[in-house]
Amino acid sequence: MPDAADQARPPSPALFLETATAHQRSAALKAAVELDLFTALAEGTGTVEDTATRCGAAPRGVRILCDYLTTLGFLTKTGDRHALTRDSARFLDRRSPAYLGGTLEFTHSKRALEYNAHLTDAVRRGGAPPEGALAEDHPAWEQFARAMAPMMVFPAELLARLVSVPDARPIRVLDIAAGHGFYGIAFAKRYPNAGVVGLDWPRVLEVARENAQRAGVADRYELLPGSAFDVDFGQGRGVQYDLVLLPNFLHHFDQSTCESLLRKVHDALAEGGRVVTLDYVPDEDRIHPPNPAQFALTMLANTPAGDAYTFKELEAMFQHAGFTRNALHELLPTDNRVVISER
């Protein structure tokens, strides 16, 4: 039943129309990035003619696109001149170190669009077909590592600040599903006594290796290629870890699969070792906060059995795997939450 506030207002189709035409919003953003419109506005005078010349596009097309982006909040308009908002200048001017335009290469990839196009089938089935991005060494993950890396640098730095490590002795850190490598790299940069092992598929680890070299920590960043479920973490060589990082990984799998991995992680930890899980963790009602709650639909469309797990669900998984204490932390201002679990 609708609540009292909902019943008090007159019916409106606004939400339906906004959602039904949301694809046009993302298409407009994609067009602007492909034309490098935001950089053109940052470098130019803001007039339609100047912006069109810089973009190599028709003035009429640029005018309409700029006006549309202004209604969405990406631009401002004074007289006949458009300008970047503070957020657009930070994240959409190609010259900015925080530029995010390249992430569209993954979020608007053919694979991503196809999975969303088959969402009805995923709802009927309860998940995506078994074949897909979770298949061995799928090329989507190299694309993800390269395209989405700019979005990961900031939360990685926040995570390294959140988790303190002893500085009196060398420590070993295992970064599972390292991808771009920035979570492990952040610990290597912040803690000179930390040696990091990045685990992922071989071609994905090439991205992590490149980023470790750029960050100046390649001498303390090892590569461990393979599947987290199959590869020896190092126990066969007597290696144990003080920290194991699980950034944005458990949500791809069902709970029993997660628990099997966590038992393996438990065995790889030194006494007093910790697991640091960063993920989209919704509240127990599964509808707050909005972004973590909505992420469950992404997993429905893209994985056979993945989900956005609540803290209680994650806590139960870790307890079944032998962990004694689990604490939930916010990672503000991001939408991520962090679970730190002790062996």
233 and 282 belong to one structural domain: yes
The answer to whether 200 touches 174, Cβ cutoff 8 Å, is no
336 and 218 belong to one structural domain: yes
DSSP bridge pairs for 224: 199
Residue 281 in domain:
yes
| 25-34 tens-digit pLDDT | 999 999 999 9
* Domain containing residue 222: CATH number: 3.40.50.150
* Domain containing residue 21: CATH number: 1.10.10.10
Query: What's the CA gap between 127 and 242, in Å, rounded?
Result: 35
32 and 130 belong to one structural domain: no
Residue 63 in domain:
yes
Residue 2: partners with Cβ closer than 8 Å, 6 or more residues away: none
Query: What's the CA gap between 115 and 71, in Å, rounded?
Result: 29
86 and 154 belong to one structural domain: no
Measured over the CA atoms of residue 264, residue 164, residue 155 and residue 205, the dihedral's sign is: negative
Residue 125: partners with Cβ closer than 8 Å, 6 or more residues away: none
Task: Report cis status (omega within 30 of 0) of the bond before 333.
Answer: yes
Residue 115 in domain:
no
267 and 319 belong to one structural domain: yes
Concatenated DSSP letters for 247-281? Answer: ET-GGGS-HHHHHHHHHHHHHHEEEEEEEEEEE--
The answer to whether 282 touches 310, Cβ cutoff 8 Å, is yes
User: Which residue is associated with the tokens 């189709």?
Assistant: 13
Q: Which pLDDT value is given to residue 150?
A: 83
Cβ neighbours around 21 below 10 Å, total: 10
Containing 322, the helix (H) or strand (E) segment is none
Domain boundary among 66, 99, 132: 99
Residue 306 in domain:
yes
Residue 64 in domain:
yes
Q: What angle do CA 200, 279, 24 make, to 5 degrees?
A: 95
User: Which residue is associated with the tokens 């791809």?
Assistant: 252
Residue 30: partners with Cβ closer than 8 Å, 6 or more residues away: 104, 108
Q: Which pLDDT value is given to residue 151?
A: 86
Q: What angle do CA 191, 151, 23 make, to 5 degrees?
A: 165
What is the Rg, in whole angstroms, of the alpha carbon atoms belonging to the chain? 22
Residue 104 in domain:
no
145 and 255 belong to one structural domain: yes
Q: Which pLDDT value is given to residue 133?
A: 58
> What is the dihedral angle through the alpha carbons of 220, 225, 231, 233, rounded to the nearest 10 degrees?
0
Task: Report cis status (omega within 30 of 0) of the bond before 289.
Answer: yes
335 and 246 belong to one structural domain: yes
37 and 155 belong to one structural domain: no
Cβ neighbours around 299 below 10 Å, total: 21
The answer to whether 111 touches 134, Cβ cutoff 8 Å, is no
Q: Count how many domains the chain has.
A: 2
SS3 at position 200? strand
Q: Which pLDDT value is given to residue 67?
A: 98
156 and 267 belong to one structural domain: yes
Two structure tokens written together for 3: 């609540």
160 and 246 belong to one structural domain: yes
Residue 106 in domain:
no
Per-residue pLDDT of the chain (343 residues; tens, 9 = 90+): 566 767 777 888 999 999 999 999 999 999 999 999 999 999 999 999 999 999 999 999 999 999 999 999 999 999 999 999 999 999 999 999 889 998 888 888 888 888 888 999 999 999 998 766 566 666 777 787 888 888 899 999 999 999 988 777 899 999 999 999 999 999 999 999 999 999 999 999 999 999 999 999 999 999 999 999 999 998 777 789 999 999 999 999 999 999 999 999 999 999 999 999 999 999 999 999 999 999 999 999 999 999 999 999 999 999 999 999 999 999 999 999 999 999 9
- Domain with 17, as residue range(s), is 4-99
Residue 110 in domain:
no
Query: What's the CA gap between 51 and 243, in Å, rounded?
Result: 50
Residue 46: partners with Cβ closer than 8 Å, 6 or more residues away: 81, 82, 83
184 and 37 belong to one structural domain: no
207 and 145 belong to one structural domain: yes
328: left (phi over 0), alpha (psi -120 to 50) or beta: beta
